[in-house]
Structure 1
Amino acid sequence: MIIFTADNGGQTGEGNSNWPLRGNKAMLFEGDVRGKGFVWGSKLPKLNYDNNQLIHVSDWLPTIVEGIAGLELDKNKWKLDGYIVWPAITMDSQSPCKELLVNLNPHMKPEFMGQAAMWVGAWKLIDGLPNCSLALCPDGWLFNVKEDPNERNNVSDQHPDIVKQLKERIEYYNSTHIE
């Protein structure tokens, strides 16, 4: 089995392109966080198809160990954040990964001004941006990344309830942060 994946988008200032996605490395837009990859091997029931399921780097360990190798991870010993996404890759079933903390920089680090991003279902909230004064930044950048993967339409004003919900999830993760 061969798994190839990227860790982030390219740095556009160094000649890379993430087009048509917005942003580049060190930002929280899809041009930074969305990566391409491929899986190839004899255990795949079909070849040459696109899979746009939500998969995080933390999903690869349980997927390889349990999903591909067929071994069992001791859930009491290993407290993993990742999911087994092998069925989502091989059988077009829904990924068990429904929520993704894209980035978390707690408010205790003033140099980051609380840059965080949370993705739940089709919704992605970016809270703060690098080098963005609070007077110029919106209270949150909300995108429906399924309908608007290029993040051109900030819809936070139209969906304050979703902004609130995703900010609450960010605050939950902030509360679990260990210095």
Structure 2
Amino acid sequence: MSGGALPSNLRGTVQKQMMHVSDWFPTLVEGVAGGSISGLSLDGFNQWMAFQGKASNPRKEILHNIDPLISAENRQILDEATQYPVNDIFSNEMEMPAEYNTSMRAALRVGDWKILTGFPGYYKAPPESNIRPFIPADKPGQKIWLFNITADPNEYKDMSDERPDVVKSMIAKLKAYYNTSVPVRYPSPSLNSNPALHLGVWGPWED
């Protein structure tokens, strides 16, 4: 960390605690600017005191995503390069499943643990990085992967069989998140979105 607003004892230090991008707003407003976020309903946490070692990290988990429309069942029609479905699989006629299930593409971090479900896709590291690529979907039929990303940041060792207790608790959290999520909505295509109608640029096309 660096910058004139930081106390001298924090400058040049490395922070490895869990942090989400939404935490920056309350951290900067309260910690740096001395303002108040009292009464605001925010997703982020003020991490200023945790940065200074004066309090424990208020963030305990991060939901990376839950995508009910990309699952282990439809993986065969995903584009190999982008890992997104090809053709017109997304439409406003698709309905979200009533309940979360492990076929859905999802990822959750809780403490040292990270769980992946469904079809997690691939990561192809640049050749010069010397990072060995790991393709979890190589195991036919597998829908759950568990990693200790503090000890294994590259997610090489799947521990789902060794720690079923952790898997169970994290699946319960994914179910709870899904039950309170906003339904996915894919509106019908609109010809008004054509950039040729808006001076050749992408922009809002609906009032």
Give the TM-score, by structure 1 length: 0.68
Q: Alpha-carbon deviation of 1:93?
A: 4.4
Superposed, 1:31-110 pairs within 5 Å as 38-46=1-9, 47-75=11-39, 78-91=40-53, 93-106=55-68, 108=96
For residue 106 of structure 1, give the secondary structure of its aligned residue in structure 2: strand
In percent, how many aligned pairs have the same letter? 36
Deviations along 1:51-96, whole A, 9 cap, x unmatched?
Answer: 1010100101111111111111132xx2111110112223374321
114, 117, 122: which one pairs with 1:124? 114
The structure with the largest alpha-carbon Rg is 2
Unaligned runs of 5+ in 2: 70-95, 98-102, 123-135, 184-207
Gap change, CA 1:157 and 1:133, over 3 Å in 2 = closer
For residue 175 of structure 2, give the secondary structure of its aligned residue in structure 1: helix
For residue 105 of structure 1, give the secondary structure of its aligned residue in structure 2: strand
Residue-pair matches, total:
137
Q: Alpha-carbon deviation of 1:135?
A: 7.7
| Corresponding letter in the other structure for 1:178 | V
Gap change, CA 1:147 and 1:91, over 3 Å in 2 = same
102, 124, 140: which one pairs with 1:136? 140
CA distance in 2, matches of 1:69, 1:147: 35
- Kept after mapping to 1: 8 A contact 2:2/2:12: no
- Kept after mapping to 2: 8 A contact 1:45/1:90: no
State the superposition RMSD in angstroms: 2.4
For residue 115 of structure 1, give the secondary structure of its aligned residue in structure 2: strand
Unaligned runs of 5+ in 1: 1-37
1:153 maps to: 157
Q: Alpha-carbon deviation of 1:43?
A: 2.9
CA distance in 1, matches of 2:142, 2:13: 38
- Kept after mapping to 2: 8 A contact 1:141/1:154: yes
Q: Alpha-carbon deviation of 1:115?
A: 1.0
Give the ranges of 4+ consecutive aligned residues of structure 1 lying more than 4 Å apart after TM superposition. 131-135
- Kept after mapping to 1: 8 A contact 2:5/2:32: no
For residue 66 of structure 1, give the secondary structure of its aligned residue in structure 2: helix
Q: Alpha-carbon deviation of 1:161?
A: 1.3
